[in-house]
Structure 1
């Protein structure tokens, strides 16, 4: 056999061997590449889906917590509002008989000014100060001579209130209501003065259990119990 023939027979074998090696190499590369691609896809899925689910769960929990907090705050706000409304309603039922004043002679105080102990609370105010009804009711006395209680009171007004109590306003310079008039809390009923047995301009204010002298209660304690700050 000639040398050329041997070489020619060997070439296909070498080429086949080289082809196999190359193919095997490419296969390895393809397998490794494919594996890397799959692993990369799995990692990407884990990075995208799992954290997203956790974030969604956290957001839901935070939303539920915020909703619960909002409901609790709303309940607390409603309770506070109701409490304030109740207090305002109670306070509005009764008011101070004058706005700006100086407290002078007090209830049950003794002294030469009175034959018995003082039956009311004095509010020192200038003549002509607006005198207001302390609560809603009907005027049962109005006029000079204490409206029938005696000259020591000067011009006076007595109001019967819805709770059965009476309020009296004395030493007035002017009376703006008459017997039978219905009044509201804070309504101006007279002007303060210095009439009757008075040592200076002031309003004498009483709370009574009847319309007449001799049935007085402590007016300051009564107003405070009704929510009025005096």
Structure 2
């Protein structure tokens, strides 16, 4: 009897230890599983955070790029506007300078008879400078002013001049254009430097197509001065 009791008592601790081992094992597994789940959860949160940071950086970069593009476009627009204003100002200044300056009465020419030349074609010496040009060449006002003579018969200075125009200038000088094929202005018209006033021709006492050009101190024949020297003094070299 006593031996049996002893045997049972000796087995109880063993079962208790086995149960404890099982519980411990279960607890350990649970702890391991929980740790793994926690690790997995932490990994997921970190990835999501990293993705959010990357997306925020991308948005910020796009905003920066768009801001730079907008600033560049604004600067380009301002630069173009400034360039436009500068070009307009330069054009206005050039027009003003041209209005205040003198020029040759034709663009392309060959100089022929000069001022003061003697010969049978003139009653005295040649009173102007001749520009040999084809009939129909554009004749321009050598300087701004007001037309005081225009018409045939030298515009009143005699048939030798053919069709002619005389312009009065603000400095008291007059320019005369003769042997014209066509007159494009009328007495009283105001013209600017370089403005078309007539077409060259071969009218009047002319030996061939050319423009006869004079600078005068009055509107009438007999008051001419050397036109080449005068234009040179006005910085026009022909």
1:124 to 104, 111, 133: 133
Q: 1:136 to 1:130 in 2, by over 3 A?
A: farther
1:6 CA displacement: 5.7
- Contact conserved, 1:172 with 1:191, CA < 8 A, in 2? yes
In 1, Cα distance between equivalents of 2:211 and 2:113? 12
- Contact conserved, 1:91 with 1:226, CA < 8 A, in 2? no
In 2, Cα distance between equivalents of 1:34 and 1:72? 57
Gaps of 5+ in 1: none
Say yes or no: does 1:186 pair with 2:196: yes
1:195 CA displacement: 1.6
- Contact conserved, 1:121 with 1:220, CA < 8 A, in 2? no
- Contact conserved, 1:209 with 1:216, CA < 8 A, in 2? yes
Three-state SS of the structure 2 residue aligned to 1:42 is: helix
In 2, Cα distance between equivalents of 1:43 and 1:177? 84
Q: Can you list the C-alpha shifts for 1:25-71, whole angstroms capped at 9, x where unaligned?
A: 01210232232223223322332223432442243234323322331
Gaps of 5+ in 2: 1-6
1:201 to 202, 209, 215: 209
Three-state SS of the structure 1 residue aligned to 2:204 is: coil
- Contact conserved, 2:214 with 2:224, CA < 8 A, in 1? no
1:214 to 192, 205, 223: 223
- Contact conserved, 2:179 with 2:200, CA < 8 A, in 1? no
Aligned length: 221
**Paired position in structure 1 for 2:27:** 20
- Contact conserved, 1:173 with 1:192, CA < 8 A, in 2? yes
2:54 to 32, 43, 47: 47
- Contact conserved, 2:106 with 2:140, CA < 8 A, in 1? no
Q: 1:204 to 1:25 in 2, by over 3 A?
A: same
TM (norm. structure 1) is 0.68
Three-state SS of the structure 2 residue aligned to 1:125 is: coil
1:54-65 equivalence runs, <5 A: 54-65=61-72
In 2, Cα distance between equivalents of 1:140 and 1:152? 15
Q: In angstroms, what is the RMSD of aligned CA positions?
A: 4.2
